[in-house]
Amino acid sequence: MSGTSRDIIAGLLSAADIEIGGAREWDIQVHDDRFYRRVLSGGSLALGESYMDGWWDCEVLDQFFCRILGAGLDKRVKGLKNVLWLGFRAWVTNMQGKRRAYNIGEKHYDLGNDLYQAMLDRRLNYSCAYWNGARDLDEAQEAKLELSCRKLGLEPGMSVLDIGCGWGAFAGYAAEKYGVKVTGITVSREQVALGRKMCLGLPVDIKLQDYRDLSGRFDRIISIGMIEHVGFKNYRTYMDVVDRCLAGDGLFLLQTIGNNTSGRRGDPWMDKYIFPDGMLPSPAYLARAAEGLFVTEDWHNFGTHYDRTLMAWQANFVRNWDRLSRDGKYDGRFYRMWTYYLLSCAGAFRARKSQLWQIMLSKNGVRGGYVSVR
């Protein structure tokens, strides 16, 4: 049985020009023959778990994933039971309902501020950077923040709402550079604690709050990398909240990772180990959610910049691993899990399977037309 399983896996990988035991950096080395049957029965979840268990290795994981996704191998596992179960669960249950609102904060963003401080830029942006002309991660993330402020047309004295503010990177930058007052919300207690320290002395208020509980009126609203946790059953509710809180002549900037096609589930491995209940929106989902509420003024795709951002995060993670692992809080299995997460995502963006959009929305259309900023 194991030989047959090996032949099937080898045949699938050959379509992506990947060899088992090959000498190229994107070829895989299998250390446990149980790997083949495990992956055939368990799909992407088994592929990730077997890597975490040390059953196989690849010198350059990002290239491995770019190749398998570019060859469409992910489409060949859609009938596997773990994928079908996730789809069924998402259909019958609101996995991102209010009762579970703080789940992602507790399981991912509260892992430890030390981890994110070791991996991210100095302002702690946990989203795609903008690399046009930037020499390093700090410059690229500041370029993204500056780009976002210019797209919003910020002016001193404006009130700004940041939905999913993280550690306050945008809030602090906008308040410091543009003289605006920012209210930020997050579902992570760790982000609130550190974000308030990082924005100390600035007109920034960071709160632990679910987006559905928002009230008030703001001149501008921004949401960077948060709608990936909202779910297809709640997209309209999310847009209703933005509509309720945005001034009549206001602008809304939505930044999100996106899928090329509409789906109702996330990847099984990513759902279990990294982003529980996560789901990437498609253009169709977002357009339907905004219909009748907003005018789409601009749609900017710079998904190729996320590949470079993820590779920079991985380099920081590896460089600081000795310090992170010193007290045993993060072990060797965590190292393999986190590496798999970062590099598989980099491969997905490189293969153009994942996108990164900044979408500008207005309530009634900008008089004379919105001038796109790049």
Contact at 8 Å (CB) between 192 and 186? Answer: yes
Contact at 8 Å (CB) between 206 and 199? Answer: yes
Amino acid of residue 176: E
Main-chain dihedrals φ then ψ at residue 197, nearest 5 degrees? -70, -40
Q: In whole angstroms, what separates CA 13 from the centre of its chain?
A: 27
Amino acid of residue 174: A
Contact at 8 Å (CB) between 337 and 366? Answer: no
Contact at 8 Å (CB) between 193 and 254? Answer: no
Q: Is 345 a catalytic residue?
A: yes
Which of these is catalytic: 58, 165, 199, 345?
345
Q: In whole angstroms, what separates CA 260 from the centre of its chain?
A: 15
Environment class of residue 92 by beta-carbon count within 10 Å: exposed (0-12), middle (13-18) or buried (19+)?
A: exposed
Environment class of residue 18 by beta-carbon count within 10 Å: exposed (0-12), middle (13-18) or buried (19+)?
A: buried
Question: What would you measure as the largest C-alpha separation in the chain, in angstroms?
Answer: 69
For 135, the 3-state DSSP assignment is coil
Report the C-alpha gap between 184 and 162 in whole angstroms: 5
Report the C-alpha gap between 51 and 60 in whole angstroms: 13
Report the C-alpha gap between 250 and 244 in whole angstroms: 11
Q: In whole angstroms, what separates CA 321 from the centre of its chain?
A: 22
Report the C-alpha gap between 130 and 142 in whole angstroms: 8
Contact at 8 Å (CB) between 69 and 348? Answer: yes
Q: 189: closest CA among 273, 115, 102?
A: 102
Q: Which residues pair with 220 in a beta bridge?
A: 160, 251
Q: Which residues are catalytic?
A: 345
